[in-house]
């Protein structure tokens, strides 16, 4: 058998001219489950996680998978069984995390707009920490905790005003962003938090953005956060953990982010030099654990020549793969079956009634109607952001492990969509 792994995707390979995820043919999965179809490699997720675990070897550390990247239960179970906690941003996320059997003490609750109901939900579950993002939230969480006879464990999410050098929509650590408490105001916010009887200050939190491909923003943010730890502890407030968020990028289009283990060895060397190596560390990776683990299999419906553009119209759309429409993001697109015919330059587009419904621009593809394509790097921020626009059902999902495949989400029907509606 001739096996040719795709560059940057070691668990996606052409085997005798057919694309496979691990040991399973994408053509066979498409025939069984239809298209569009998301297929995930379990081994890729575990390998990505292992890089973080190597970086934190010998440390008191907790990896909390950032659920917003992909919150499907089958994916969450992979990380729960591997010992991860979860970083969540809604009450619905909390229900999902608990449904896969995670220890509530391994859950951190982030987000700028937690409601009182969500606070009560987290307190009732005895989660490990609330990452608080404003002084107003401190006051409300204190009130809710006291009403329940509890103390809420909290860290403050600090905005260090560091440029992550990424797309502005996924930059979260600049002073113009909505996230976190301003770096200069943090000591006063910590003093206020420590004065509230319903709160227990346990840590400090920072997250500067997503799809970061350089080490320098992390190193800059680390220095600013450690400066704050020193300032806060001079006020007599002990911080037991340092939560440094996530945001490490993946290879979409020749991107070269640092390896997770190498990055964290550099960061922890700086932590040790500053005298904080004894602390507990929490990190919240999402995209880097699942992004390149997933592909979306889609069928070519038509090829449509035009005066200025040729179009390859597929059955996956912006409701399935929203990143190109939202961020002008790049996803590699490859044929499931190799053809020997000459390629044509196409814009790869979906059937949704929007000019923004495109998946790839100017791609060289040798395809005909009925062929299958694989949209790569589709494990993060695709299914979790999918919608029912144009009354389109969300795609099915399959988890592959070696030579076996398991359906972890059935395809959504129109009847499923109508269940909650009345005339």
Q: Token pair of 105, please?
A: 């003490």
- Render pLDDT for 34-69 as a digit per residue (tens, 0 to 9): 999 999 999 999 999 999 999 999 999 999 999 999
Torsion of the alpha carbons at 352, 387, 377 and 397, rounded to the nearest 10: -110
The predicted structure's pLDDT at residue 164? 52
Query: 247: annotated binding-site residue?
Result: yes
pLDDT at 115: 98
Instruction: Please indicate if the annotation marks 137 as binding a ligand.
Output: no
**Residue 64 annotated as catalytic:** no
Ligand-binding annotation for 59, yes or no, is no
What distance in Å separates the CA atoms of residue 250 and residue 326, rounded to the nearest whole number? 18
Q: Where are the domains of the chain?
A: 3-41+291-418, 110-285
**pLDDT, tens digit, 9 for 90 and up, residues 203-234:** 999 988 778 888 888 888 889 999 999 999 99
pLDDT confidence bin for 173, thresholds 50/70/90: very low
Taking residues 235-239, report their average pLDDT. 96
Residue 7: band (very low, low, confident or very high) from pLDDT cuts 50, 70, 90: confident
Alpha carbons 147 and 120: distance in angstroms, whole number: 9
287 labeled part of a ligand binding site: yes
Of 270, 175, 173, the C-alpha closest to 212 is 173
pTM score, two decimals? 0.94
- Tell whether the model's pLDDT for residue 171 goes beyond 50: no
pLDDT in tens, 306-346: 889 999 999 999 999 999 999 899 999 999 998 888 999 99
Taking residues 255-281, report their average pLDDT. 93
**What is the CATH superfamily name and number for domain 3-41+291-418?**
Lyase, Ornithine Decarboxylase; Chain A, domain 1 (2.40.37.10)
According to the annotation, is 381 in a ligand binding site? yes
CB 179 within 8 A of CB 207: yes
- pLDDT for the residue 317: 98
- Give the pLDDT score at 16: 87
What are the angstrom distances between the C-alpha of 79 and each of 73, 143, 220, 238, 310? 10, 34, 29, 30, 42
Cβ-in-10-Å burial (0-12, 13-18, 19+) of 21 comes to buried
Tell me what pLDDT residue 177 has. Answer: 59
Q: Which of 358, 359, 350 is nearest to 302 (CA)?
A: 350
What is the band of 254 on the pLDDT scale with cuts at 50, 70, 90? Answer: confident
Q: With pLDDT > 90 as the criterion, what percentage of the chain qualifies?
A: 83
Res 27: pLDDT:
98
17 is in an annotated binding site: no
Average pLDDT for 170-178: 48
pLDDT at residue number 1? 61
> Which top CATH class is 110-285?
alpha beta
CB 199 within 8 A of CB 142: yes
Mean pLDDT computed over every residue of the chain: 93
pLDDT at 353 over 70: yes
Least confident among 118-127, 136-145, 207-216? 207-216
- Mean per-residue pLDDT for 228-249? 94
249 annotated ligand-binding residue = no
Mean pLDDT, range 413-417, rounded to an integer: 97
Q: Answer whether residue 73 shows pLDDT above 50.
A: yes
Distance CA 208, CA 135 (A): 19
**Range 286-311 average pLDDT:** 96
Q: Which of 84, 129, 296, 353 is catalytic?
A: 353
Is the pLDDT at 291 greater than 90, yes or no? yes
More confident residue, 387 or 17: 387
Token duo for residue 320: 């399935």
Q: Is the predicted pLDDT of residue 191 greater than 90, yes or no?
A: yes
Higher pLDDT, 400 or 3: 400
| pLDDT score of 178 | 56
> Residue 21: how many CA atoms within 13 Å on its side-chain side?
33
Arithmetic mean of pLDDT, 171-180: 54
Q: Are strands 241-243 and 280-283 parallel, antiparallel or unpaired?
A: parallel
CA distance 216 to 112: 26
pLDDT of the residue at 237:
97
């Amino acid at each position: 058998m001739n096996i040719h792994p795709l560059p940057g995707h070691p668990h996606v390979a052409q085997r005798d001219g057919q694309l496979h995820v691990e040991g399973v043919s994408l053509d066979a999965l498409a025939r069984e489950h239809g298209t569009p179809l998301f297929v995930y490699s379990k081994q890729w997720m575990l390998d990505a996680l292992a890089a973080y675990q190597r970086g934190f070897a010998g440390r008191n550390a907790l990896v909390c998978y950032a659920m917003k990247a992909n919150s499907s239960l089958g994916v969450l179970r992979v990380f729960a069984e591997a010992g991860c906690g979860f970083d969540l941003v809604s009450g619905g996320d909390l229900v999902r995390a608990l449904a896969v059997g995670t220890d509530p003490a391994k859950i951190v609750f982030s987000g700028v707009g937690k409601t009182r109901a969500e606070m009560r939900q987290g307190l009732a579950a005895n989660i490990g920490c609330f990452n608080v993002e404003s002084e107003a939230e401190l006051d409300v969480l204190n009130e809710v905790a006291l009403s329940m006879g509890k103390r809420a464990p909290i860290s403050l999410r600090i905005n260090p005003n560091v440029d992550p050098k990424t797309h502005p929509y996924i930059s979260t650590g600049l002073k113009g962003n909505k996230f976190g408490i301003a770096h200069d105001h943090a000591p006063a916010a910590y003093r206020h938090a420590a004065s509230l009887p319903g709160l227990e200050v346990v840590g400090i939190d920072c997250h500067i953005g997503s799809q970061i491909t350089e080490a320098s923003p992390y190193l800059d943010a680390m220095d600013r956060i450690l400066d704050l730890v020193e300032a806060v502890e001079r006020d007599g407030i002990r911080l037991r953990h340092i939560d440094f968020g996530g945001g490490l990028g993946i290879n979409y289009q020749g991107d070269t982010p640092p390896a997770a283990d190498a990055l964290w060895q550099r960061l922890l060397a700086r932590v040790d030099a500053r005298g904080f190596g004894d602390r507990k560390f929490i990190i919240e990776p999402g995209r880097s654990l699942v992004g390149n683990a997933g592909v979306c299999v889609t069928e070519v419906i038509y090829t449509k020549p035009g005066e200025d553009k040729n179009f390859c119209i597929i059955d996956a759309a912006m409701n399935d793969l929203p990143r190109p429409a939202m961020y002008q993001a790049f996803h590699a697109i490859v044929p499931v079956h190799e053809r020997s015919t000459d390629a044509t330059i196409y814009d790869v587009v979906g059937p949704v009634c929007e000019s923004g419904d495109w998946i790839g621009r100017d791609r060289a593809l040798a395809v005909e109607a009925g062929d299958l394509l694989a949209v790569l790097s589709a494990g993060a921020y695709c299914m979790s952001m999918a919608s029912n626009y144009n009354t389109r059902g969300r795609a099915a999902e399959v988890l592959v492990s070696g030579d076996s495949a398991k359906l972890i989400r059935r395809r959504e029907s129109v009847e499923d969509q109508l269940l909650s509606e009345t005339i």
